[in-house]
Structure 1
């Protein structure tokens, strides 16, 4: 069995934590502002972070480890959050993950950041459409969902870009 390195394990744990954290945020905080007058369910920021962590976890630990992480995160959501949110989240994560794989895998050879941006764009749209419809029966928060997840994706990709440049710069 191929056991991921410490960084891979930490990334997987962070990814797993974002799944129930997103559902708990929605349960406890409801709707939050995301900018430009839009609002979204409070888990939007955690899910935006999850999209990036998922790609990093895939890099560090592989596809099967990410699928296992989704299952663990979903189970934790059922134990900690509202079951209806957990169900909507599980379905949305699963479909978004399948779509993400379809975009990420072919683009990965052209660069990590390009693959992350493209797959996250597809993943955040799929996740938002499904989650909002299943959890709330409405797409009223769709612009806010997309904006909030985009903020988190851009922040994470910017941070990764800066970290990569710092590593390349000799001291």
Structure 2
């Protein structure tokens, strides 16, 4: 038995929404507990992201979260995505270390809103292009806001951007598979 296309899309959308929400506590857990070393006095745990570059380990989930937000919008619509951003900012504040609450929530809120503003018009040109462009803009905004508010320093900006880009690049094959499957389903429905 096959699942109708609209039900399948909504189920996928809710799965993307759950994964998006899971990225938030995961990023906060990583930044506080997982890395090749943790900076003293409550500083972040960092990981290598390229030769000579390190970043707080939460960058991995932040990069993935930007792509997942795009997929929530693609499957459930703009208003579900806006709701996910607002709920995500609140979750980010709840799961952050006390010293990172403002930085985490503000960076999340503004980066995801910028991602939405770039993704929305570009998605008409294609899922992969829209997700890639919006995620890159979002991850830069996230890095700048988070580092400035959390540490008053841009020391990790290059590592933050590179770490987040890795996760966006890892997501591209999945985006291509979804796009191709959606196109096949669309062609089959048109025949």
Structure 2 length normalisation: TM-score? 0.78
Partner of 1:43: 58
Superposed, which structure 2 residues align to 1:24-43 within 5 Å?
24-29=29-34, 30-43=45-58
- Alignment partner, residue 110 of structure 2: 95
Cα-Cα RMSD: 2.1
Deviation track 1:103-144 (CA, whole Å, cap 9, x = no partner) reads: 212211111111111111110100000011111111100010
Query: Corresponding residue for 2:158?
Result: 143
- Within 5 Å, give how 1:82-161 maps onto structure 2: 82-161=97-176
Asked if 1:19 corresponds to 2:34, the answer is no
Structure 2 CA distance, aligned partners of 1:38 and 1:129?
Answer: 16
1:75–1:97 CA distance, 2 compared to 1 (3 A)? closer
SS across alignment from 2:153: coil
- Indicate if the aligned counterparts of 1:23 and 1:85 stay in contact, CA closer than 8 A: no
| Residue in structure 1 matched with residue 39 of structure 2 by the alignment | none
SS at match of 2:49: strand
Instruction: Return the alpha-carbon distance in structure 2 between the equivalents of residues 8 and 166 of structure 1.
Output: 15
Alignment gaps of 5+ in structure 2: 1-6, 35-44, 185-191
Gaps of 5+ in 1: none
Do the aligned partners of 2:89 and 2:106 also contact (CA within 8 Å) in 1? no
- In structure 2, the partner of 1:75 is 90
Q: What is the deviation of 1:83?
A: 2.8
The structure, 1 or 2, with the larger RCO (C-alpha pairs under 8 Å, 6+ apart) is: 1
Q: 1:22 to 1:117 in 2, by over 3 A?
A: same
CA deviation vs aligned residue, 1:50-90 (integer Å, no higher than 9, x gap): 01101001111122222322333333344433133232121
For 1:6, the equivalent position in structure 2 comes to: 11
Equivalent position of 2:188 in the other structure: none
The answer as to 2:67 corresponding to 1:52 is: yes
